[in-house]
Structure 1
């Protein structure tokens, strides 16, 4: 039977999560469905036991091809290495510290056979360290019309989209080196696809806040996001993206960069002003003709970027953070009615939710 789906799993320093990830890919598959899937794990010169674990897993379970890289190349290039070995008609990039809920691969295979899309988007849940699951803020977009303008707002990652491998070859779409490698890949894949389908089903659990993840690491490497967005806009040029798509992509870019700038887990305070200046340069470099800023608070932040006003941005950020802290404090602290007598009275609590 021909391979319908190749699952590429780049692996680096995740020995505590690796087995669960690999088990989740094959879980619940019938022998027929199992024959339609190949799994390629790419050991990105992992410094821990991951390489040996992959070899042992392949020997015990079968159905896993292991590619050992001689030196560490990073997530994007490790994905490219796995893609180069893929034989499936479709490819799904699954991160090795995440996992798939039961039935996910089976559901994906069924939809791929039914509709033969260029691109299939799936829903996901965010999984916290304590096991708590929560939907992503962008997930409701998957329930509406499958238009490019709408789907550009879906979390821009590689792991929530299953792509026809031929589409990647036809448009020369690969991952760049460096952090934020998903930026020049995920939305160009969406724009290049002529036939887009949505499987409005949770098929992925994304671990958040894991030590070592870039979203939980303070580093100047977050400045690499600027180069990745430059590459994104070059790819949009090559794909002939229409003005409406360019404007939408521009809005999302500025919103995302502002999130990075304001995130204490990523941005050291000493770097924030310099990063803001980088956002200003991106704004001026890629501003589409006739662009209209978004409404509300997002639009206000866009105005501050446009005006290169870090002082006002910093003051606004401080005000928002103080307001949020006060609100959380109020929600957690019971409000007690004043007791002016010696007789105990029951505590009364109020909620601002």
Structure 2
């Protein structure tokens, strides 16, 4: 059996596809297959894939007759994969040199259900942001393998799929696939972490995560952002069906859900203005329905205040807080950069991630449009 199957969904990424394929096929690890799923691309991706498949038999190309979305393309790739482990890599991203060998070494040494790696975001202006896994240990040594209950700080690592390498048999036995619509990583990553009995970390940058202004949910004002609720409902349904999940972990997952939904609502280029009150009401509904029975302790500071306002259903106070915060940020920016004109591009302003010591920028929720 091949050790690793790298699954690459491909949709309208011709400008980046060759770099992605080269970053996988040109590394030293040979014990792999690459399953590329052309999800109805019309920009010439098919020709690029055909050229690479003709020269490297490790590349398997699957072509869908119409665009079905990122989740469906990943599911198709999973159904064709034969490796002991699978890794989902987006077609506009890449794997840094040496990452495949490092991942393979960790897989063969620990045989985990789930391997989580560090990664780096690459922004259009040339900036980068490295996302390490240091917060998972919280100053303590992390064992070679562990469960989520033993290291709940893993929840503070953003719930993307591309920094996770998964034992294929474990995934198939779990019956977990990607759901339809936007934010499909939510209903995939959390159940995956709940169920894994052997999780291991590789705190090395093994993924180059390209932040594109075009084709990303982060830059799309749409009513489709309401689809995030269905994915969180799936997470909560699975959680409720598993009595073995400890109360502390349920509390943290609830907190993470509220944080995520508020991040989506708070982003200026996501929920349409005329639907924001309705979106807030949907958050309130889930807050009240799933609030931990033993009580809920919100995080500290302004973030905790937002959580309390959600609990009260106080949309007017919530929007007033948002306006005041943006005004404060604007004043601080003018004080720090008094000579800056109105067109000066602002860097990402950090906000605290609940339950961790890391930071996440407002655009950190980089779910992509499939």
What TM-score, normalized to structure 1? 0.89
Map Cα deviations across residues 120-158 of structure 1 (whole Å, 9 max, x no partner).
00001111012221123x743245436441101111011
Cα deviation, residue 213, structure 1: 1.0
1:316 aligns with 2:309: no
1:294 aligns with 2:299: yes
Residue pair 2:117, 2:133 contacting (<8 A) in 1 also: no
Cα distance in 2 for residues equivalent to 1:175 and 1:17: 24
Higher relative contact order (CA 8 A, sep 6+): 2
What does residue 214 of structure 1 align with? 217
Aligned CA-pair RMSD: 1.6
Cα distance in 2 for residues equivalent to 1:211 and 1:323: 29
Cα distance in 1 for residues equivalent to 2:241 and 2:174: 9
Match of 2:227 among 220, 224, 227: 224
Residue pair 1:142, 1:198 contacting (<8 A) in 2 also: no
Match of 1:92 among 87, 90, 93: 87
Cα distance in 1 for residues equivalent to 2:251 and 2:110: 30
What does residue 348 of structure 1 align with? none
Cα distance in 2 for residues equivalent to 1:28 and 1:9: 16
Cα deviation, residue 13, structure 1: 1.1
What does residue 18 of structure 1 align with? 17
Match of 1:331 among 327, 336, 349: 336
1:149 aligns with 2:152: yes
What does residue 187 of structure 1 align with? 190
* Correspondence list, 1:162-181, <5 A: 162-181=165-184
Residue pair 1:142, 1:200 contacting (<8 A) in 2 also: no
SS in 1 for 2:156: coil
Map Cα deviations across residues 41-86 of structure 1 (whole Å, 9 max, x no partner).
0011113211222112211344211000122211111101000011
Residues 239, 157 of structure 1: CA spacing in aligned structure 2 closer, same or farther, 3 A cutoff?
Answer: farther
Cα distance in 2 for residues equivalent to 1:153 and 1:62: 39
Map Cα deviations across residues 282-313 of structure 1 (whole Å, 9 max, x no partner).
21222121222222222110111011111101
Number of residues paired by the alignment?
329
* Correspondence list, 1:20-169, <5 A: 20-29=19-28, 33-34=29-30, 36-136=31-131, 139-142=133-136, 144=138, 145=142, 147-169=150-172
Question: Which residues of structure 1 form unaligned runs of 5+?
Answer: 336-353
Cα distance in 1 for residues equivalent to 2:248 and 2:229: 22
Cα distance in 2 for residues equivalent to 1:126 and 1:6: 23
Residue pair 1:148, 1:191 contacting (<8 A) in 2 also: no
Cα distance in 2 for residues equivalent to 1:315 and 1:105: 48
Cα deviation, residue 26, structure 1: 2.4
Cα distance in 2 for residues equivalent to 1:63 and 1:251: 43
1:4 aligns with 2:3: yes
Question: Which residues of structure 2 form unaligned runs of 5+?
Answer: 341-370
Residue pair 2:134, 2:203 contacting (<8 A) in 1 also: no
Match of 1:272 among 266, 269, 276: 276
Map Cα deviations across residues 318-342 of structure 1 (whole Å, 9 max, x no partner).
111111111112211259xxxxxxx
Cα deviation, residue 238, structure 1: 3.6
Map Cα deviations across residues 198-217 of structure 1 (whole Å, 9 max, x no partner).
00001111122430111221
Match of 1:307 among 312, 324, 343: 312
Residue pair 2:133, 2:201 contacting (<8 A) in 1 also: no
Residue pair 1:117, 1:164 contacting (<8 A) in 2 also: yes
Residue pair 1:120, 1:162 contacting (<8 A) in 2 also: yes
Cα distance in 2 for residues equivalent to 1:122 and 1:115: 14
What TM-score, normalized to structure 2? 0.85
- Structure possessing the higher radius of gyration over alpha carbons: 1
